[in-house]
């Protein structure tokens, strides 16, 4: 160790892993001072608080996606099936017939049946 890094008492300060020097209140070999312990405590607290903040951020992000997610447009709003044709009933359907054309014998019988049912229900 260079002489410039030596203590005034001539003793070298204690070495930490990584080459950092640690000086106690009375020189080399003294127990850790309060400043180092406080720095170590703060470093650990910062690490824990960063981890906790990351976990909270991830949890709140998941909660927001659960409540406020944007649905896939194709699944949320599927195309509604349109009717085959909007022209009305097929040809030959009773609703297609004109009033000017007289009813057939079968249609007259059906109409009488419907009227009889309607009159008996009153």
pLDDT of 25 over the 90 cut? no
pLDDT for the residue numbered 43: 93
Q: For the residues 73-101, what does the mean pLDDT come to?
A: 69
Residue 67 in this model has a pLDDT that exceeds 90: no
CA distance 37 to 60: 34
Q: Tell me how far apart the alpha carbons of residues 105 and 83 are, in angstroms, rounded to a whole number.
A: 33
Confidence of residue 59 (pLDDT cuts 50, 70, 90): very high
Give tens-digit pLDDT for 41-57: 999 999 999 999 999 99
Helix (H) or strand (E) holding 21: strand 21-22
């Amino acid at each position: 160790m260079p002489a410039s890094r030596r203590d005034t008492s001539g003793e070298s300060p204690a070495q930490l892993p990584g080459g950092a020097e640690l000086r106690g209140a009375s020189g080399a070999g003294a127990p850790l001072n309060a400043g180092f312990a406080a720095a170590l405590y703060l470093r650990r607290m910062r690490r824990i608080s960063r981890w906790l903040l990351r976990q909270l951020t991830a949890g709140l992000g998941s909660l927001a996606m659960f409540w406020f997610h944007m649905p896939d447009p194709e699944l949320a709003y599927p195309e509604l099936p349109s009717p085959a044709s909007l022209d009305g009933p097929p040809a030959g359907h009773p609703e297609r017939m004109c009033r000017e054309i007289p009813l057939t014998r079968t249609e007259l019988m059906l109409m009488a049946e419907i009227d009889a049912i309607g009159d008996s229900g009153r």
